[in-house]
Amino acid sequence: MAFLQTHNIVKDYHQHRALDHVSISIPGGSIFGLLGPNGAGKTSLIRIINQITAPDSGKVIFDGQPLNESHISRIGYLPEERGLYKKMKVGDQLLYLARLKGLSEKQAMEKLKRWFEKFDIKPWWNKTVADLSKGMQQKIQFVSTVLHEPELIILDEPFSGFDPINANLIRNEILELKEKGHTIIFSTHRMESVEELCDHIALINRSKKVLDGPKDQIKLQFKTNTFRVEYTGTLDEDHPVYKVVDVTPLKDNRKKSIISVYGEAGANQLLAALIGQVDIHSFGENLPSMQEIFIKAVGETPES
């Protein structure tokens, strides 16, 4: 079931069309990758979902209802450009932001205590934001985003400023939030994070949606009929079924090859051709990475 849908969203700024009839459907309890190059229209769509701006036409459906002001408290938003008050104490600031989202002081204090213990940041309570490193500030901003346990969480470049240890900490928190049933919109340029975290993606380029669907199905859509084979022995490189694209020597006289099949041949025909020539240790389809799909799809988007 879709938790959030946009239908034919159009947004114009002066002489520039930021969104051109963009429709997406975000399943509940999923991590949805909202992707695109700089200036594609992602931020405009996020602002519309957050009711910071309104579409010129089209509509947004939130949990089965037209998006309205009552939904604001059910959304948590971590913007790419951080918005903490530099001279305000961390504890006072998080308490203030929690109250804005509808929590009582008692509720907010109970939740903050758990998060401060979980992130091992209790000594930060009376520090000002200006006293913290960029990564520490990012951690505080993340807490402020999820503290009120919103049903929809929008994360725009959530790993910015983090070292690998803290990036992994936030990654695990995102996965835990998904397991608890939260719906997450995840906007990033880091395709390795998309590979690891996202269930579905939509790619926007030049204000239009150019890709949309489950991540695994999109990978299959861009497959190139190539396979990864790890083996011992020597392959016939001149064969009517396949062509060896690349060979990498490994330890213990093993090799790893990327092999492309001709015509309508598939995995079974390739395996039949390889058996008897070499001892096969591993075999799998060589699906494109999200990085490769992103570059190809953006490069093929026609100009308006």
3-state secondary structure labels for all residues of 231-247: EEECCCCCCCCEEEEEE
CB 226 within 8 A of CB 259: yes
Mapped onto helix, strand or coil, the DSSP state of residue 77 is: strand
Pull the structure tokens for residue 82: 């951080």
Burial bucket for residue 110 (CB in 10 Å: 0-12, 13-18, 19+): exposed
* Residue-range domain boundaries for the chain: 2-219, 224-286
Angle, to 10 degrees, between the axis of helix 90-100 and the axis of helix 134-146?
A: 30
| DSSP of 97-155 | HHHHTT--HHHHHHHHHHHHHHTT-GGGTTSBGGGS-HHHHHHHHHHHHHTT--SEEEE
Give the CA-trace dihedral at 138, 144, 145, 150, to 10 degrees: 160
CB 230 within 8 A of CB 255: yes
Q: Which CATH entry fits the domain spanning 2-219: 3.40.50.300, 3.40.1110.10, 3.30.70.980, 3.90.1170.30?
A: 3.40.50.300
Place of tokens 């204090």: 109
Instruction: Please name which of 27, 37, 111 lies closest in space to residue 297, comparing C-alpha atoms.
Output: 37
Place of tokens 């690998």: 164
Mapped onto helix, strand or coil, the DSSP state of residue 42 is: helix
Q: In residues, how long is the chain?
A: 304
**H or E element, residue 176:** helix 164-179
Instruction: Please name which of 201, 207, 189, 153 lies closest in space to residue 25, comparing C-alpha atoms.
Output: 201
**H or E element, residue 2:** strand 2-13
Distance of CA 216 to the CA centre of its chain: 14
- Over its length of 304 residues, how does the chain's per-residue pLDDT go in tens digits? 899 999 999 999 988 999 999 999 999 999 999 999 998 999 999 999 999 999 999 999 999 999 999 999 999 999 988 778 899 999 999 999 999 988 999 999 999 999 999 999 999 999 999 999 888 899 999 999 999 999 999 999 999 888 899 999 999 999 999 999 999 999 999 999 999 999 999 999 999 999 999 999 999 999 888 999 999 999 988 899 999 999 999 998 999 999 999 988 889 999 999 998 999 999 999 999 999 999 999 987 766 5
